[in-house]
């Protein structure tokens, strides 16, 4: 965010400045008092705690003022709703003179971060100035923070857009209106709020409906009409699939998994290019295709896309492969989980274990927010583990016990990630192949961190 005086910010967000100097410049924002840097504006949001309680700390760290719902003992921009004010500032910042990046919105049940990472790599490789969502900043707080953190020279803003309720994506699009929309996939996630796959599709379809008539929408071939906004008139639609189906404009052939990552040929009509990408797992093909579709929508060539994907680096805990002591191989996809993603990781791990003649160990945390059918989804994964001949199933957390109900092989049950790390370390053998997957709340990253510390290569 380019420097802005407090009086102008007050006008934008409808605030009253209490204390401080109206001419003081702010050149950034923060919502965590521990992360405030000199010259930033601190937004005191309400959550499990009241952000206003941390305004003195933010002030000591250099915050020029705090945006809060009441006057404080530090310079304060008083508003009715600090979160709405944060969003209003982000909305204004995108439209201010000299700031008009092209916005790409990415949504979907799985694959958003991989798609974002791949698209950003392609665009940067082609010389574009890109700002993209960091970490899991894809909600009503994270998205405006991403917008406001973007470099003023940004040409393309790549934003993940998550949703847990109907209307969430529509609201995010009102903050940062996209010109290109990308749908990665529709699968059972957040069913406790959406109710059904149809509800998920309708929620994700808000992205297509928010695009201008001149916009482009990228989506999987065969995605439900409600998810792709079929009734919406758009300048261009790009559909992707693994196979050359009648309705896919983008597809692949000659898929191979190599020691250095994936290799395939991508096709668009009569044009084709060889792709070599340093990621592991054939289930990542669709997110890569989604990213390539997004880059094509922005005017890049297929060759430029292939070249850029080769330089991709994935966000941590998503398909990371590493070795531990005694030649134990780990496929760490512990960042989050859904039934579709968990099944894909299990299949990938089973294939790798068979290919290399290793014992297959699946470390699975529970999958959250699946609604009334949560137990059934976990049982299906347990059945798949049985079908794939998993040698040892490690279940972590309360929900994970449902995996064990349909698995007849060797099972270890643990209440949490810390206990699982200790127990798993004792159970591991030389040359084991370990896959790790679970919802974020299970904190399997703590398990993998302990394993890497205790079984590090020497």
Model pLDDT, residue 316? 56
Structure tokens that stand for 119 in this block = 């698209």
CA–CA distance, 309 with 420 (Å, rounded to integer)? 36
CA–CA distance, 443 with 84 (Å, rounded to integer)? 31
Question: In the predicted model, is pLDDT for residue 282 greater than 90?
Answer: no
In which band, very low, low, confident or very high, does the pLDDT at 315 lie, cut at 50, 70 and 90?
low
Residue 401 vs residues 364, 391, 395, 407: alpha-carbon distances, Å: 10, 17, 6, 10
Q: Report yes or no: 29 and 43 within 8 Å, Cβ to Cβ.
A: yes
Among 234-248, 309-323, 350-364, the range scoring the smallest mean pLDDT is 309-323
- Where do runs of H (alpha helix) occur along 249-360? 285-297, 302-309, 339-356
pLDDT, mean of residues 5-17: 97
Q: What is the DSSP letter of 442?
A: G
Task: Give the CB-side neighbour count of residue 280, counting CA atoms within 13 A.
Answer: 23
With b meaning 16 or more CB within 10 Å and e meaning fewer, what string describes 216-237? Answer: bbbbbbebbebbbbeebebeeb
Nearest in space to 407 (alpha carbons), one of 427, 425, 380, 434: 380
Question: In the predicted model, is pLDDT for residue 140 greater than 80?
Answer: yes
36-65, pLDDT tens digit by residue? Answer: 999 999 999 998 899 999 999 999 999 999
In which band, very low, low, confident or very high, does the pLDDT at 197 lie, cut at 50, 70 and 90?
confident
pTM of the model: 0.81
Pairing outcome for strands 360-365 and 433-437: parallel
CA–CA distance, 323 with 87 (Å, rounded to integer)? 43
Query: CB within 8 A of 445, min separation 6: which ones?
Result: 317, 334, 335, 417
CA–CA distance, 385 with 310 (Å, rounded to integer)? 32
Q: Structural domains in the chain?
A: 4-80 (3.40.1390.10), 101-309 (3.40.1190.10), 320-454 (3.90.190.20)
Q: How far is CA 55 from the centre of its chain?
A: 30
Structure tokens that stand for 412 in this block = 């270890």
Q: How far is CA 327 from the centre of its chain?
A: 31
Pairing outcome for strands 156-160 and 130-132: parallel
In which band, very low, low, confident or very high, does the pLDDT at 307 lie, cut at 50, 70 and 90?
very high
Q: Report yes or no: 331 and 318 within 8 Å, Cβ to Cβ.
A: no
From the CB of residue 251, how many other CB atoms can be counted at a distance below 10 Å? Answer: 20
Model pLDDT, residue 458? 62
Q: Report yes or no: 348 and 331 within 8 Å, Cβ to Cβ.
A: yes
């Amino acid at each position: 965010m380019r420097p802005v005086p407090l009086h102008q910010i007050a006008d934008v967000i409808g605030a009253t400045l209490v204390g401080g100097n109206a001419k003081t410049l702010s050149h950034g924002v923060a919502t965590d008092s521990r992360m405030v840097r000199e010259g930033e504006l601190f937004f005191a949001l309400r959550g499990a705690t009241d952000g206003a309680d941390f305004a003195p700390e933010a002030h000591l760290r250099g915050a020029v003022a705090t945006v809060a719902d009441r006057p404080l003992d530090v310079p304060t921009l008083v508003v009715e709703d600090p979160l709405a004010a944060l969003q209003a500032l982000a909305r204004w910042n995108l439209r201010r003179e000299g700031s008009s990046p092209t916005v790409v919105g990415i949504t979907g049940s799985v694959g958003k971060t991989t798609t974002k990472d791949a698209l950003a790599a392609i665009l940067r490789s082609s010389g574009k100035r890109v700002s993209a969502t960091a970490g899991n900043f894809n909600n009503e707080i994270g998205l405006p923070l991403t917008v406001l953190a973007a470099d003023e020279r940004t040409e393309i803003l790549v934003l993940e857009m998550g949703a847990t309720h109907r209307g969430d994506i529509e609201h995010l699009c009102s903050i940062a209106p996209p010109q290109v929309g990308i749908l990665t996939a529709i699968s059972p996630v957040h069913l406790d709020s959406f109710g059904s796959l149809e509800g998920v599709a309708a929620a994700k379809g808000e992205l297509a409906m928010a695009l201008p008539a001149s916009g482009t929408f990228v989506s999987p071939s065969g995605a439900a009409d409600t998810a792709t906004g079929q009734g919406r008139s758009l300048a261009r639609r790009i559909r992707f699939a693994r196979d050359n189906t009648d309705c896919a404009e983008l597809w692949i052939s000659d898929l191979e998994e190599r020691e250095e990552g994936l290799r395939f040929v991508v096709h668009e009509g009569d044009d084709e290019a060889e792709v070599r990408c340093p990621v592991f797992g054939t289930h990542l093909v669709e997110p890569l295709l989604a990213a390539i579709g997004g880059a094509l929508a922005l005017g890049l060539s297929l060759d430029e896309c292939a070249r850029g994907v080769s330089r991709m680096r994935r966000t941590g805990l998503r398909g990371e492969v590493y070795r531990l002591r005694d030649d134990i191989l780990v496929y760490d996809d512990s960042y989050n989980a859904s039934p579709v993603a968990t099944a894909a990781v299990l299949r990938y791990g089973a294939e790798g274990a068979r290919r290399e003649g290793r014992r297959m160990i699946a470390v699975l945390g529970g999958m959250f927010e699946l609604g009334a059918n949560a137990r059934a989804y976990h049982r299906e994964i347990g059945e798949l583990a049985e079908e794939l001949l998993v040698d040892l199933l490690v279940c972590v957390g309360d929900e994970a016990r449902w995996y064990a109900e349909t698995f007849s092989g060797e099972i270890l049950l643990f209440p949490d990630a810390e206990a699982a790390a200790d127990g798993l370390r004792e159970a591991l053998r030389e040359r084991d192949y370990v896959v790790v997957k679970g919802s974020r709340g299970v904190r399997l990253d703590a398990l993998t961190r302990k394993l890497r510390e205790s079984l590090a290569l020497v």
